[in-house]
Amino acid sequence: MQLAGATHTWCRCVSRIRRSGLSTTAGERCLLDELQWSDESTVFTETRIGGYERNGGRYEARRVKWAVVHPAVVSNDGHLVNDVALLLLDRPSTTRPLLRLPGAVPRPAAAPGTPLTAIGWGIARDKNGNSYDPALLQEAVVGMMAVKDCPPYFDNGDAWGTQFCAGPPEKRIDTCQGDSGGPLIARSSTVPAGDLAVGVVSWGDGCAAKTPGVYADVAAVSPWIHNTIQWLLHEDSAGRIPGPPTAAA
């Protein structure tokens, strides 16, 4: 899923979850940064669901009615923590399959060593090491790392209760700029009952460098996601959430 901003396209990959009118993305990287560029009511001109091409191709178009960033996306000491947001679409998506949300335990929802698939249109490198913007949706398989193995790479305070790392760095496979907000998925071949949203691409130090990628832990914010979904649907059904801006707005 792509979010097309009124001023520029910032977040190109967003997770579709099993509430077909709702999606998850990265809060700080995809929404708070974007809102610095444009008025909140017109920041997202279109969302494109189910497309594989950066420009054009076949996709399902929707508008964002409302966006909710996790209230504790930045900790008191300034570290990025609960980097998750929810988007309410103007009407449900018909694209399938959707991702399952994990419960609050275990945290994270995948064991160390589990292969996880990251999806996005972020910066890629060719066989000669040259960077480019891919025309087609990309995916990479990274390995889940134990939470205790992440702090040695980064000084991020006590933020590891809501984040985890995947890599490992010696594999030189990673997400990059432009992938933020995209899903990190445990495929149905490794978990029962369908693809599972384990993480959301958040941040890192370089791309496929000497450090792993950092991902928001979906299980850690699962209660907030479920509660916010219920609130959004209730407020929307009561007519208290305005619709997306019109083309003339």
Q: What is the CATH number of domain 2-97+222-237?
A: 2.40.10.10
> If you average pLDDT over residues 221-230, what whole number do you get?
90
pLDDT in tens, 14-54: 555 555 466 666 555 455 444 433 344 445 567 888 888 88
Pick the catalytic residue from 23, 180, 202, 222: 180
Pick the catalytic residue from 15, 83, 179, 217: 83
Q: What is the CATH number of domain 115-217?
A: 2.40.10.10
39 CB burial (10 A radius; 0-12, 13-18, 19+): exposed
What does the domain layout of the chain look like in residue ranges?
A: 2-97+222-237, 115-217
Q: Do domains 2-97+222-237 and 115-217 have the same CATH topology?
A: yes
pLDDT in tens, 137-178: 999 999 999 988 988 888 766 678 889 999 988 888 999 988
End-to-end C-alpha distance for the chain, whole angstroms: 24
| 83 has catalytic annotation | yes
